[in-house]
Amino acid sequence: MTAETISVGTEILLGNIVNTNAAYLAAQYAKFGIESYYQTTVGDNAARLTETLKLAASRSDLVVLTGGLGPTQDDITKETVAEYFGKKLVEDRATMERIEAFFAKRGKTMAENNVRQAMIPEGARILENNNGLAPGILIETEEGKAFLLLPGPPEELRAIWEAHVEPYLREKTGDVIYSSMVKVCGRSESEVAELLDDLIVRGGDVTVAPYAKTAEVHLRVTAHAQNEKDAKKLVKPVVKEIKGRLGNSVYTTHEERTLEEEVVELLKANALTMTTVESCTGGLIAGRIVNVPGVSEVYKSGYITYSNKAKRKMVGVKKKTLDKYGAVSAQTVTEMVRGAAAYTKADVAVAVSGIAGPDGGTDEKPVGLVYIAANVCGEITVQEYHFSGNREKIRENAVANALILLRGCVLEHYSRDLYGEEQG
């Protein structure tokens, strides 16, 4: 099966909103092992939408249209699709009653144009929307193709997809689809692709699809089988092979688990306390860490030492170090991470100092230069990084790599304790 997404809305073309729906749907297609070769964004124009719809219908089995199901005149998706299929729009009484009840419950008067949201192409299947007014709509053709109309608000689209579309796709494919996510950190997408090339390209009953994230690569391993037990059996050895090839770079095989959760759990498992000291990231590392429930067991405090004075006063960086090497240097982050651990009596500390831009760079120290240091029980490791992109991207990369470095240093420290220095 092949799927195609058509996102409807001039606001997307103008950059007024970020099209998160397209990314979500692409991930869902991969989850079901559905191939997807095209994504299109079209403005609120009936003629262009009809042209786009015609092209999608000629090359894809499943066409998903998002947006344009609202009550206003520029919400044209439903009307355009109905006209394309030669279907009348008829009022669905159950939908109309839900809309009327929505306004009555809130003590508000329903606008006349809200009636449009209860108008459904004749013969279409309604996918109930429990998070909004406009229902999803499913139209199937005699040729066996399916056209899904989903509302634009992400929380509405996702709820309809999970409640109605997933069961429909399982029924349509005739197979049970099971997938497992393998999350990798500290390796580039190209490196992971090279190491797993034969697994990624082999196809068949099990697929491996890589997704690049900031300083991470996520691998979705998906299998089709007649039942879930058989699908799991197909996935399990592939996940094991990936873990064998990538080693400690794999930090989890749980879909929802984040890198910061992994770091916190690693600290808990080894009864370690932690502190952070940040310059260019301005508290972003601490922000990710404290998002983890139960982090108070390990996280003691954090410092934001943006100025040189703060670095001296708060974590004991020497003035002569700053004068000789500068704030952005291996020497300075070494003293930052040593001082933070000492002042808080934390077992583990991580420090960051860099040039996030867009100004402040020199030939010797360009924008994107970042030094990160990790201190694990007195053992200090410093890494130099050169990130590209805008200020936000540089800081985002610095945060992710700080967590990765800290995780790696903790693993290395306890590996030596367990197995001896000679085995690493």
Taking only the tens place, the pLDDT of each residue in 305-351 is 999 999 999 999 999 999 999 999 999 999 999 999 999 999 999 99
Which neighbouring-strand residues pair with 304? 278
State how beta strands 89-91 and 119-121 pair: antiparallel
User: Tokens 């306390």 identify what position?
Assistant: 273
Task: Decide: 385 and 395 in contact? Cβ < 8 Å.
Answer: no
327: DSSP letter: S
- Is pLDDT of 202 > 90? no
The C-alpha atoms of residue 71 and residue 318 are separated, in whole angstroms, by 64
Q: Domain 2-173 class?
A: alpha beta
Mean pLDDT of all residues in 411-423: 63
Which of the two residues, 170 and 335, has the higher pLDDT score?
335
State how beta strands 250-252 and 146-150 pair: unpaired
Here the tokens at position 289 are: 């860490």
The C-alpha atoms of residue 45 and residue 9 are separated, in whole angstroms, by 9
The C-alpha atoms of residue 116 and residue 356 are separated, in whole angstroms, by 49
**259-423 shares the fold of 176-252:** no
- Is pLDDT of 424 > 50? no
Taking only the tens place, the pLDDT of each residue in 97-142 is 999 999 999 999 999 999 999 999 999 999 999 999 999 999 999 9
Angle at 181 between CA 215 and CA 67, to 5 degrees: 85
Q: Who contacts 310 (Cβ-Cβ below 8 Å, separation ≥6)?
A: 303, 304
- Is pLDDT of 421 > 70? no
**Is the CA virtual torsion 195, 201, 207, 210 positive or negative?**
positive
The C-alpha atoms of residue 112 and residue 296 are separated, in whole angstroms, by 53
| Percentage, residues of the chain above pLDDT 90 | 87
The C-alpha atoms of residue 371 and residue 381 are separated, in whole angstroms, by 11
> Which of 213-227, 242-256, 334-348 is least confident?
213-227
The C-alpha atoms of residue 332 and residue 245 are separated, in whole angstroms, by 36
Query: How confident is the model at residue 416, as a pLDDT?
Result: 59
112: DSSP letter: G
pTM higher than 0.85: no
Termini Cα distance of the chain: 48
The domain locations on the chain are 2-173, 176-252, 259-423
Q: Domain 259-423 class?
A: alpha beta
Angle at 220 between CA 287 and CA 295, to 5 degrees: 25
Q: Domain 176-252 class?
A: alpha beta
**Is the CA virtual torsion 193, 195, 196, 197 positive or negative?**
positive
pLDDT tier at 417 (50, 70, 90 boundaries)? low
